[in-house]
Every structure is written in C-alpha cells, then in structure tokens.
Amino acid sequence: MTRALVLGGAGFIGVAACKELMRRGVETIAAGRTDRPYGTFTSYVAFDRSDEQQLKRALEQVEPDVLLDLACYQPIDVPAVTRHFHGARYVFVSTGAVYPNLDGRPAREEDFVPLTGEPTPSLDYSDGKRWCETFLARDRELPWSVIRPPAVFGPSDHTLRIAAYLQRVEDGGPLLVPVESYERQAGLAWVKDIGYACALACDLRKDLTHKAFNASFEGVSVRDLIEGIALAMEKPARIHPMPFMQIPEGASPYGPDPGRSAGYVLDRARKELGFEPSSLEDALAETLAWYRVARPSHPGYANRAEEQAIADSA
C-alpha cells in the first residue's frame, strides 16, 4: 500500500486531495502547522515545514512513499525536501501564475521556462512558485512531478473569488466583465478536480518523473461561469462587458486579464496523468450548496454601488 504525506492536507485543496487519496486506498497522513483534533483525518501530524529539522523529523517518523506538497511557496523549501525526502515521488502543487503573459493563448506546460540566476530574498507568490519550479527543474535526483492549478473554487474557497460572482448574480446583476476576454476560456478549476489531479500524480504505477501537468476545466469562460450560476440560481445573467482597464478593483476577480493566458491546454494531463475535468454544472451545484449556508462575501462587494452606477450610466 502506498503511504502519502500530504503537506497542507487540512487546507482548501488538501482536504479534496486527501479524500481522493483515501478513496483510492492510499494510506494518507495529512500535515500542517496547526494542531488539529484527532479524527478530522485518518492521521495527522503537526509541524512547520519551514523549519528544516521539523520537516526532517516528520519525514523520518512517517516515511512516506509520496510527499504531496500543498504548502511550498519559497524556493528555500525545495532543497530541504531533496535533503530529507527519500520516497518514490514528490508532488509539488504549483500554480498557473508561473506562466508568462501569453496574450490570450491557452497555456501549455512547456510555456513555463525555468529562470536563470538566483532568487532574491523576498519573493511574491508567483515568483516564489516560479523559483520553486526552477529549483525543481535543476534537481535531477529528486523524483518530482508538478501540478499547476489555475484559480480554484468550491466549498470553503478562502479566496472568496467565486463568492464575488455568486453574490452579484444573486442580487440581480450587473456583472462587469472584461469585454476583451470574458468569452475566452478562463483559468478555472473545481477543488474536487484538483484533489483528483493531485491523487493521480501520487499514483506510483505511472511514470510521471520530472513532468508538470495542467489541471483545470476546459473551454469554460467567465461568461459560461456567470450563465451557469444564473441557471443554477434561477436568476438572470446580467453581464455588462466593458474595457478591462476600467473595471473597478474586485468586481471580476477572475478577470480574465486579456494579457494573460486563456486557460490551459489539457492534452498532456489527459494522456499521461489520466485527468478529465468534471462538468461546470456539478462544480457549481456543490459550490452553491456551500454558499447558501456559509453566506461568504467577497471584499470587492463593498463597492457594489459604484458598479451599479457604471452599468446604469452606460
């Protein structure tokens, strides 16, 4: 039986990944810094991975075959894994933010090119992940694989980006979206699908060493998302396209920024990982069930009156 240690296993994507691993019969041990009550997972260990000695001790204690890492943000954490992980596969959960601007072209895995030189001490989220991937690309000893999710939504989405659209459809619109890109494929994924992609990447029967994989919906635009929400909520989809640069901050958190990529190409993920995205309808049904109970609010919703005024004046 494969034993997987899931760093960040109690987080948003981590819970979905643990569920899928357990469904597949993988002995699953979740990890995070916070002490969590016993019973949330089959097993759980608390440690801070940014303390190399704590990471070492946890890896010695658990001896995982697979380390699924959802809590790696800084390149310094990568060589620490190389030094202390001696299992069969390290799965690094990266992000689509590693891709360069592709001017509306869907991203292929090879569009990420490892960086040259050395990282500066303080890196933002995207650069941190780019450097993590660069350190991995330079490491031919660690048996690594990479999953690159785009913006992920689902129940308990702490980014609250999906709530921004749910709230605006619920209040009857309007939804201000970028005229240049709202009908293009967008970089979106359901948390359950990303958990599934992570679990597929932990399957030691497949040779996935030194490969990266996209995982997302395919062909879903922000327009499709809004229309899907409207259908599920039995509300009108009052879409208000306008220039990207004029959209108030927080009104359309998924953008999509017309200069970025237009979603992902899934050919490699399908062929080599066996990944297939679910339907948007299923993802929205589950997300809506959570929204109706939790009533989350996106911070940008505080400026709703300004958005209404923009739409009314058009």
Ligand X SMILES: NC(=O)c1ccc[n+]([C@@H]2O[C@H](COP(=O)([O-])OP(=O)(O)OC[C@H]3O[C@@H](n4cnc5c(N)ncnc54)[C@H](OP(=O)(O)O)[C@@H]3O)[C@@H](O)[C@H]2O)c1
β-partners of residue 144 are 90
Phi and psi at 174, nearest 5°, equal -80, 160
Identified binder of ligand X from the candidate list 18, 21, 62, 71, rule CB under 6 A: 71
**Does the footprint of ligand X cover residue 37 (CB under 6 A)?**
no
**Does the footprint of ligand X cover residue 217 (CB under 6 A)?**
no
Binding residues for ligand X restricted to 152-181, rule: CB under 6 A: 152, 158-159
In the bound state, the residue with its beta carbon closest to ligand X is 11
Give the residue with the Cβ less far from ligand X, 34 or 122.
Answer: 34
**Does the footprint of ligand X cover residue 70 (CB under 6 A)?**
yes
Torsional sign, CA 292, 254, 151, 123 = negative
Give the residue with the Cβ less far from ligand X, 198 or 226.
Answer: 198
β-partners of residue 176 are 240
Whether the Cβ atoms of residue 106 and residue 263 lie closer than 8 Å to each other = yes
Angle of helix 12-23 relative to helix 191-201, nearest 10 degrees? 50
Give the shortest CB-311-to-ligand X separation in angstroms: 28
**Does the footprint of ligand X cover residue 202 (CB under 6 A)?**
no
- Distances 314 to 173, 240, 242, 310 between C-alpha atoms, Å: 14, 9, 10, 7
Give the residue with the Cβ less far from ligand X, 175 or 191.
Answer: 191
**Does the footprint of ligand X cover residue 64 (CB under 6 A)?**
no
Whether the Cβ atoms of residue 18 and residue 9 lie closer than 8 Å to each other = yes
**Does the footprint of ligand X cover residue 34 (CB under 6 A)?**
yes
Give the residue with the Cβ less far from ligand X, 124 or 207.
Answer: 124
Nearest to 217 by CA among 209, 225, 227: 225
Whether the Cβ atoms of residue 187 and residue 219 lie closer than 8 Å to each other = no
Give the residue with the Cβ less far from ligand X, 6 or 208.
Answer: 6
Give the residue with the Cβ less far from ligand X, 26 or 151.
Answer: 151
Give the shortest CB-114-to-ligand X separation in angstroms: 18
Identified binder of ligand X from the candidate list 32, 143, 195, 263, rule CB under 6 A: 32
Residues in binding contact with ligand X, number by CB under 6 A: 22
Identified binder of ligand X from the candidate list 6, 11, 251, 283, rule CB under 6 A: 11
Identified binder of ligand X from the candidate list 50, 74, 278, 308, rule CB under 6 A: 50
Amino acid, res. 193: D
- Distances 157 to 13, 152, 154, 252, 253 between C-alpha atoms, Å: 9, 8, 6, 16, 13
Give the residue with the Cβ less far from ligand X, 10 or 230.
Answer: 10
Dihedral class, residue 8 (left if φ above 0, else alpha if ψ from -120 to 50, else beta): left
Identified binder of ligand X from the candidate list 93, 160, 188, 265, rule CB under 6 A: 93
Binding residues for ligand X restricted to 117-156, rule: CB under 6 A: 149, 151-152
β-partners of residue 69 are 7, 92
The set of long-range contacts for 255-258, using a CB threshold of 8 Å and a minimum separation of 24, is 255/178, 255/181, 255/186, 255/222, 256/178, 256/181, 256/182, 256/184, 256/186, 256/187, 256/222, 257/178, 257/181, 258/103, 258/104, 258/178, 258/180, 258/181
**Does the footprint of ligand X cover residue 8 (CB under 6 A)?**
yes
Give the residue with the Cβ less far from ligand X, 91 or 242.
Answer: 91
Compute the distance between CA of residue 93 and CA of residue 34 in angstroms, rounded to an integer. 20
Give the residue with the Cβ less far from ligand X, 95 or 167.
Answer: 95
| Residues that bind ligand X in the complex, under the rule CB under 6 A | 7-8, 10-14, 32-34, 48-50, 70-71, 93, 95, 149, 151-152, 158-159
